[in-house]
Each structure stands twice: as structure tokens, then as C-alpha cells.
Amino acid sequence: MWDTGRAFQIAAEMRRYNLEVLGISETHWTQVGQQRLTSGELLLYSGHEEENAPHTQGVALMLSKQAQNVLTGWESHGPRIIKASFKTKKERISMNIIQCYALTNDYNEDAKDQFYDRLQSIIEKCPTKVLTILMGDFNAKTKSQLYGSLWKNQLNGIHHSTSTSLTMKST
């Protein structure tokens, strides 16, 4: 997405499929911020914040005009996790969307533990009465890997945590 014009291509696809919120992984953008596109979409992004940081990793949420109207806030959690909060049409019900870009199994165990500990901490801070959607690239390449290495890759711990009530779905 770091390439010139890529955000506009993604926005066009988002409109084509009538999506209100689109999660993006591997943006390769640095810093944290938001950018309004000339077509009206809002891009919330989170990347490496260090000076001269590499253009690697990075996550973003692209919001339609309608989603922008119900956005209540958003948080950057490093180059692999971003969270946005929204009001819903149902009174007194709000929603969180957490977009993440997980490490592959090739990373060392400490790095993976740190990522999943941070992710679990973010999920646990979401009130139980708030609808929370966790989505992103969990680096599962096939269905067998999804239920093999992905579960081994600690999502199982988050799913079975006593403080969360997540339902797991795959595409």
C-alpha cells in the first residue's frame, strides 16, 4: 500500500463491494495517523514510529463516510495492531474493530508471545457488553494450517481465555 495511488485503488474496491470498514495488513507505512482521501474515505494507520524506520509491517482501517460518522475513537498499538470504536444503530451498543497483522511461525517465541500478550491485553480491555470484532492477517496459509499452526500460534489461548468470549471464524 506504500506505492503511490494504492490507497485510492483500495478505496475504489471498498466502494465496489459496499464495505463500510476495511481492515488492511502490510501497509508498509510508517508513523501513526489518519489521511482523508479525496474520494471521502478516511484511512487510519499504524506503523513503525521510529525515525528512519523500515517500510515493513503496518496496519490500517479504511472507513466509508458513513463509518466516519459513527467513529468514536481509535488507538494505535504499534505496527501490527490498530483498534477503532464505533456507535451502532442499536442504542447503548457500541462496537470495536481490531485489525492485526500476526507474526509468522518463523519468528522467535518471545516475539510471538509479546504480540499475542499485547493482543490479549487489548481484547481484555474491551468491555464485555461491547461487540468486538478481531480481524486481520493471522498468517494462516491453508485451512489445515489455520487449525494447526495458527492455533498453535497462540490464538487458542486468546479464544479460551476466561475473560473473553470470542467466536472464531475463518475465510
Closest CA to 170 of 146, 145, 141, 148: 146
pLDDT at 162 over 50: no
Whole-angstrom Cα distance, residue 33 to residue 44? Answer: 6
- Indicate the pairing of strand 131-137 with strand 94-101: parallel
Give bridge partners of residue 31 from the DSSP assignment. Answer: none
According to the model, what pLDDT value does residue 133 have? 94
Sheet of strand 59-63, all strands in order from the earlier edge strand to the far edge: 21-25, 59-63, 42-46, 32-36
For 115-137, write each residue's pLDDT tens digit. 999 999 999 999 988 999 999 98
More confident residue, 71 or 170: 71
According to the model, what pLDDT value does residue 87 have? 96
CA distances from 69 to 39, 87, 113, 140 (A): 15, 9, 36, 33
Q: How many CB atoms lie within 10 A of CB 85?
A: 17
Mean pLDDT of 136-156: 59
The grid coordinates listed for 163 are: 475473560
For 43-85, write each residue's pLDDT tens digit. 999 987 777 766 778 899 999 999 999 999 999 999 999 999 9
According to the model, what pLDDT value does residue 53 have? 67
CATH of 6-159, one of 3.40.640.10, 3.60.10.10, 1.10.3720.10, 1.20.1740.10: 3.60.10.10
For the chain, give the mean pLDDT.
84
More confident residue, 69 or 89: 69
Mean pLDDT of 109-120: 91
